[in-house]
Structure 1
């Protein structure tokens, strides 16, 4: 059975006519006047491939992702090498304008076949930070890239996503300080604020930049213009006493969530793997799949940034508040996480642990209650409540390793990602302590 194809652009009418006359592997079912008409035809289920003979400059990663979501691969014709490279970066199969009808039909057939046989995810390569002992996880490309069977190899960097349920369990505090500890360990780190409801990394770090770095990066990625140099320019450099990290600040207003589209964010995180040993993502709380709300197919998704960050992460830290309200929220949230991202194996972190909220020996009581009533995921770590240290860090716009380096909270967060031996070997604070002891 021939592959139904829709086309747009009349710069090569003889080429489109040649496809129609082949009576072979493809058949042209509609000639469209503009991309909007082509998109409508594809979303109606009319075609499995789209040929853009002219006007490829209007193609974006989000548009290609919408077409791929309905099972359509995109082939564009261009004689501009730079445009061809841009198209390939967003998941389009780019071919020279001089291609003949038979060769184009073969290319369409190959792209459709690749899409049918490709895996939903691509295993991330081994490597990454010595201080982050984490299992491999899926590093999915955009659906457009999978459909066309193109795109370069993924970078070697790791992605850590910090997630937690509603109720301010301390996601941003944990994410920012994980990034700081990894930077202090000598690794290159990128901190990404992907919370589409209440981005706050900039406030925690005392940044006055209102440029919304992640939105800028997503815009460039959507246009196929985000390379590693562009990502480095967009990211804000944050120096600390113990190391330097880069930050992609979050959206400045909640109503800008439409700028964080899944296809563009995927490309941003793939580029992040190339420039950083570890990328730490502060994810939002909501895991609701917007399709269930009856939204138009292909429309922007409010929770896309959170869900895509969790899907691409090599390690997920699930953070919950250790009290009678926070623990049930975390239990329900973990069940939602399992449904939304089945492959995720979160490391559960109890934050704000204090005897006043739990009773004597709070860690022992929390662990016993979790083993009896909690989900299958075991408790991985406990972070003590230290409002004085947390307030001092927030007041000065600094990380705990700067404002309260000897606090128990800072040490507990460091233990999440760095082995004690490595801390003593590389960390600024531990090295300073050792020097003082030696002098004494």
Structure 2
């Protein structure tokens, strides 16, 4: 079977020319003069592999990810070990510039055979370059995180819900706090590209857009454990400490949250925390990618990629005449957008005034009749007094209302033990609020 390849760069004429002289399965169908031309050729379906002999420093995670989506594997030639490590980390296959044509053809064949940039060929380890993940795995625990480093990678918990403010962010923040109170290391990620609000809920004064910063580093192949910790803000609560990757500070910065970079950030986050709690946006449309042949950014890419990578997805809806139908429709959209997800349904803000007498029974009956065929995992009672107090002080429920029925329901949802220790005056200790920054 013939493997069509496009190349860019004249500096390695001997190597590329050698491919043509082999007359094997690898066929050079076009020599491009610049990277933009190579990208266009790949986008048109001309090739299934690309050899970048010049300009590999222009390759990013977004570019490699997008070309991988159209079935193109990238082999980049460089003699710089640091650059090779960066290329490997963003999904390209590095090789030495002096590689023999036969060996290069073998690498191309194996890369195409694997069919995914996520699992690089074994030959990628034969280039003499270090594994880019080795730095993160070998980093001393004291440098990797303030909390205990998980063994085997952490769990990603995504909190999603339809439009209409069903309480996604408030629930995500309190899940993170409860898991931290249980003694787990936790990273809370604000991946909402429409209305990032984790910082406001937690009263964080520093508008750092940590998630966007981490995505930019990942896009350039520069994200490691120390870099991720540097952009994550520590939040100190009475029960424990967790870190936050704050959301974008302006709505127009959503273009920084590219799918490939988001995936790399979440993968790195798994290595630093037992639990990665992701507050996602509401919209599940594939948006711009449907309308453009070029590599247009997708506003909902952060939400969709987070849901795809999540180990657990909580689907949250308001327990009222508007919120329940929205959740039912939203679950159908979720199944269509991310078929592999099996969400845990959470009905929030349950109250008699909105549902009627015996609200849980009323909701059960309505859900059995109109629901999408999956059960409701949790009913979170409305507690406006406790919620208002938490938002007013930029705190979480375990601090301002530890005995709140809502707080206890959230504890039960994430299987964390109820933390009942209070100071002698029955108040939370907010002397630590200053380090919250």
Match of 2:343 in 1: 346
CA distance in 2, matches of 1:41, 1:196: 31
- Superposed counterparts of 1:144-223, under 5 Å: 144-146=117-119, 155-223=152-220
Q: 1:336 aligns with which of 333, 337, 341?
A: 333
**Which shifted more, 188-197 or 2-11?**
2-11
Calculate the TM-score normalised by the size of structure 1: 0.88
Q: State the Cα deviation string for residues 318-348 of structure 1 (Å, max 9, x = none).
A: 0000000000000000000010111111111
Calculate the TM-score normalised by the size of structure 2: 0.89
CA distance in 2, matches of 1:393, 1:39: 50
Kindly indicate whether the alpha-carbon contact (under 8 Å) linking 1:20 and 1:27 is maintained by their aligned counterparts in 2.
yes
Deviation (angstroms), 1:298:
2.6
Match of 1:258 in 2: 255
Q: 1:51 to 1:226 in 2, by over 3 A?
A: same
Kindly indicate whether the alpha-carbon contact (under 8 Å) linking 1:205 and 1:397 is maintained by their aligned counterparts in 2.
yes
Deviation (angstroms), 1:146:
4.1
CA distance in 2, matches of 1:278, 1:207: 21
- Superposed counterparts of 1:48-59, under 5 Å: 48-59=48-59
Q: State the Cα deviation string for residues 36-93 of structure 1 (Å, max 9, x = none).
A: 0100011111111100112211100000011111111000111111111111111011
Residue 325 (str. 1) matches residue 329 (str. 2): no
- Superposed counterparts of 1:226-305, under 5 Å: 226-290=223-287, 293-305=290-302
Q: State the Cα deviation string for residues 298-330 of structure 1 (Å, max 9, x = none).
A: 311011111111000000000000000000000
- Superposed counterparts of 1:273-422, under 5 Å: 273-290=270-287, 293-419=290-416, 422=417
Kindly indicate whether the alpha-carbon contact (under 8 Å) linking 2:190 and 2:197 is maintained by their aligned counterparts in 1.
yes
Match of 1:133 in 2: none
Kindly indicate whether the alpha-carbon contact (under 8 Å) linking 2:93 and 2:120 is maintained by their aligned counterparts in 1.
no
CA distance in 2, matches of 1:247, 1:42: 38
CA distance in 1, matches of 2:78, 2:152: 28
Kindly indicate whether the alpha-carbon contact (under 8 Å) linking 1:90 and 1:145 is maintained by their aligned counterparts in 2.
no
Match of 1:91 in 2: 91
Q: State the Cα deviation string for residues 344-380 of structure 1 (Å, max 9, x = none).
A: 1111101000000001110111012111211111001
Deviation (angstroms), 1:288:
1.0
CA distance in 2, matches of 1:81, 1:395: 51
Match of 1:10 in 2: 10
Match of 2:429 in 1: none
CA distance in 1, matches of 2:195, 2:18: 54
CA distance in 2, matches of 1:295, 1:241: 49
Find the residue that maps to 1:145 and give its secondary structure.
Answer: coil
Q: 1:410 to 1:199 in 2, by over 3 A?
A: same
Find the residue that maps to 1:144 and give its secondary structure.
Answer: coil
Deviation (angstroms), 1:296:
3.4
**Which shifted more, 314-323 or 6-15?**
6-15
Q: Which runs of 5+ in 2 are unaligned?
A: 125-130, 138-150, 427-437
Kindly indicate whether the alpha-carbon contact (under 8 Å) linking 2:288 and 2:297 is maintained by their aligned counterparts in 1.
no
Aligned residues: 402
Find the residue that maps to 1:348 and give its secondary structure.
Answer: strand
Find the residue that maps to 2:403 and give its secondary structure.
Answer: coil
Kindly indicate whether the alpha-carbon contact (under 8 Å) linking 1:74 and 1:148 is maintained by their aligned counterparts in 2.
no
Instruction: Please provide the CA RMSD for this pair.
Output: 1.9
CA distance in 2, matches of 1:293, 1:66: 14
Deviation (angstroms), 1:155:
5.0
Q: 1:155 to 1:305 in 2, by over 3 A?
A: farther
**Which shifted more, 26-35 or 153-162?**
153-162
Kindly indicate whether the alpha-carbon contact (under 8 Å) linking 1:317 and 1:349 is maintained by their aligned counterparts in 2.
yes
Deviation (angstroms), 1:295:
3.0
**Which shifted more, 172-181 or 5-14?**
5-14
CA distance in 2, matches of 1:217, 1:32: 32
Match of 1:125 in 2: none
- Superposed counterparts of 1:8-157, under 5 Å: 8-115=8-115, 144-146=117-119, 155-157=152-154
Q: Which runs of 5+ in 1 are unaligned?
A: 116-142
Kindly indicate whether the alpha-carbon contact (under 8 Å) linking 2:280 and 2:306 is maintained by their aligned counterparts in 1.
yes
Q: State the Cα deviation string for residues 273-305 of structure 1 (Å, max 9, x = none).
A: 000000000000001122674233431101111
Find the residue that maps to 2:298 and give its secondary structure.
Answer: coil
Kindly indicate whether the alpha-carbon contact (under 8 Å) linking 1:90 and 1:144 is maintained by their aligned counterparts in 2.
no
